[in-house]
Amino acid sequence: MSTDEVGTTTGTRQTHEVNVAVVGAGTSGCYAAATIAAAGYDVVVVERKTAEEAGHIACGDALKGADEFPEVIPKSKISPSLTNTVVDHGQFEIPAEDAVLDIPVPGELAVIDRKLFGELLIEGAEESGAEFHYDTVVQNVLQDDDDDGRVTGVTGIRKGDPVHYDADLVIDGAGALSILQDEADLSDATFDTNVRFSQFSSAYREILEVDEPVDYHDALVFKPTQRAAGYLWYFPRTRTEINVGLGFQMTEEPMKLVDDLKKDLHDRPEFRNATVKDKLGAALPTRRPYDSATAPGFMSVGDAAAHVNPTTGGGIAGAAYAGTYAGDAAIDALEREDASEDVLWSYNSRVMEHFGGRYAALDVYNIFTTAYDLDDLMALLASLPADKLSEQLYDGKAEIGLKLKLRTAIKSFGHWGTLYDFYRTKLLADRLTEHYEDYPDVPDGFESWRAERDEIMEDIYETTGAEAKY
């Protein structure tokens, strides 16, 4: 990495020349940086927080599938942050139906200390050779004036002084509603600009220490809020340290998150006399992954590209893999000395093949919930077989035979209209999954693929009666 200093009227401006500038020291940024640095390239991770606060991110703290995460930051590195490894299933409380759904969760599951997890990821990326610049707020994106508008770096303020990062590639790991996407002109690229705040959720969580061990120490507990597009969670970090929080879709009337959480906790005896150890809020994507997260010289990863399971809010696994895939694409571009979309496109393809198509299909159920009454939805959930619900939530596809359909129909008596619409929606979600399996290997097939996808979405809106989300 080379550095120059230039005097300005506001102080000293530093200019850093690097192969790759990664914005954001979250999960996706760390995995991207570690991947590229391990290949011998100069990588700087630009992070707005201080070194002490970096890694402190609002999160539900549930981690799924860590045993299969990319090895560039090995599991042994992050293992100390796994504080509860006995959690192995979910519980969905449905007060209106006086029911609790026990939902199996496939694969390894744990609850983590999210701040420690973030700090260990940073250490792992540093050990691979990445450099971190803290106290740095990115303000603008640098682009070429030629026809492809290639991104060439970012500018901002570091510890009060102006700073420029000139880079062959920029990776945007700046989180939900990233400022980089507001500042860059991506209109001539395939990059997905069909993004608005209504496709996101607002969430708030607290870490509480309780007097007595909770009886659900081995479960992730969920509960609906008083509106369809939101839920509360209670995730045990340990038997007595619980991550509690709630969120709502930004299409809805705003909730008073702190007050609403306080009201719910007041009615749960396990939280009497609880001590608040930490509190934090955030926005998170509850939408399908970006159709394309590439532009010349530029890729977005993790929350900045909606790499989140839109039904559960789980985003750590998607971020880890997206960061790694973006890192691999960046290495390819650096080796070729070509950061065009044609070269970076493999990143999009790998994301869609691995989890993007599944997450896009799961988003169909978010769309479904916006069109129905909360009581109808809870009755429907209470009638669904738990194992099939789990398959649908985590794999995006569940086979439901005639016997199960009949059993579900009997249990959902009085809500058959909703049940019928649900099964019709499920068929469309399956059709969408199959379409994502044909995601193009090169940018040339992208527009026709997207046009066909949009036709499927029109059928989904017509079937559910929901307003168009995109």
- Residue 87 pLDDT grade (very low, low, confident, very high; cuts 50, 70, 90): very high
Query: Residues 297-318: what's their mean pLDDT?
Result: 94
Least confidently predicted of 19-28, 56-65, 446-455: 56-65
CATH of domain 2-79+114-193+287-356: 3.50.50.60
Highest mean pLDDT pick, 96-110, 221-235, 422-436: 422-436
Share of the chain above pLDDT 90, in %: 72
CA distance 380 to 351: 32
Bridge partners (DSSP) of residue 249 are: 201
Handedness of CA 138, 119, 356, 224 (dihedral sign): negative
Of residues 97 and 293, which shows the higher confidence score?
A: 293
The answer to whether 77 and 320 have CB atoms below 8 angstroms apart is no
Number of neighbours of residue 47 by Cβ within 10 angstroms? 26
Q: Given this model, what pLDDT does residue 386 score?
A: 55
What digits encode the pLDDT tens for the residues 40-60?
Answer: 999 999 999 999 999 999 888
Instruction: Please determine, for residue 183, whether its predicted confidence score (pLDDT) is greater than 80.
Output: yes
Instruction: Find, among 245, 301, 308, the residue nearest to 61 by Cα.
Output: 245
Question: What Rg value do the Cα atoms of the chain yield, rounded?
Answer: 22
Domain locations along the chain: 2-79+114-193+287-356, 85-107+198-285, 358-464
Residue 415 has pLDDT above 90, yes or no: no
What does the pLDDT look like over 104-152, one tens digit per residue? 887 789 999 999 999 999 999 999 999 999 999 999 999 998 878 999 9
Tell me the per-residue pLDDT of 320-370, one tens digit each, with 9 for 90 and over: 999 999 999 999 999 999 999 999 999 999 999 999 999 999 999 989 988
The DSSP code sequence of 378-438 is: HHHHHHS-HHHHHHHHHHS-----HHHHHHHHHHTTT-HHHHHHHHHHHHHHHHHHHHHTT
pLDDT of residue 385: 59
> pLDDT tens across 420-458, in order?
788 889 899 999 999 999 999 999 999 999 999 999 999
Name residues whose C-beta falls within 8 Å of residue 71's C-beta, 6 or more positions apart in sequence: none
Number of Cβ within a 10 Å radius of residue 271: 19
pLDDT band at 406 (very low <50, low <70, confident <90, very high): very low
What does DSSP assign to residue 253? P
Q: What is the identity of the amino acid at 154?
A: V
pLDDT above 70 as % of the chain: 88
More confident residue, 224 or 288: 288
pLDDT of 278 higher than 60: yes
In whole angstroms, what is the distance from residue 103 CA to residue 219 CA?
9
Copy the structure tokens of residue 105.
């969760």
Q: Is the pLDDT of residue 193 over 70?
A: yes
Confirm if 27 and 69 have CB atoms less than 8 A apart. Answer: no
Angle between helix 27-38 and 114-128 (nearest 10): 20
Closest by CA position to 321, among listed 72, 75, 70, 79 = 70
Instruction: Please give the structure tokens belonging to residue 201.
Output: 């959720």
The pLDDT mean for the chain works out to 89
Of the pLDDT bands very low, low, confident and very high (cuts 50, 70, 90), residue 383 is low
Amino acid at 292: S
Average of per-residue pLDDT across 183-187: 96
Instruction: State whether the Cα torsion 220-177-371-257 is positive or negative.
Output: positive
Tokens at 194, concatenated: 């069909």
Q: What is the pLDDT of residue 230?
A: 76
**Mean pLDDT, residues 156-173:** 97
Amino acid 136 reads T
Catalogue the E-assigned strands of 48-149: 62-64, 82-84, 89-94, 99-104, 109-112, 131-133, 136-143
- Classify 84 as helix, strand or coil: strand
* Vertex 178: Cα angle to 316 and 346 (nearest 5): 65
What is the pLDDT, as a whole number, of residue 73? 97
Separation between Cα atoms, residue 346 and residue 353, nearest integer Å: 10
Tokens in use for 41?
A: 């390239």
Instruction: Answer yes or no: are the C-beta atoms of 28 and 307 closer than 8 Å.
Output: yes
What integer pLDDT is reported at residue 225 of this predicted model?
Answer: 82
- Gap between the Cα atoms of 273 and 269, Å rounded: 9
Q: What is the pLDDT of residue 125?
A: 98
Paired with 234 in beta bridges are 221, 244
- Within 13 Å, how many C-alpha atoms sit on residue 207's CB side? 19
What's the rounded Cα separation, in Å, for the pair 188 and 196?
Answer: 19
CB atoms < 10 A from the CB of 151, how many? 28
Give exposure, 436-464, as e/b (b: 16+ Cβ within 10 Å). Answer: beebbeebeebeebbeebeebbeebbebb
So what's the architecture of 85-107+198-285 in CATH? 2-Layer Sandwich (3.30)
Task: Measure Cα distances from 334 to 164, 388, 442 in Å.
Answer: 20, 45, 19
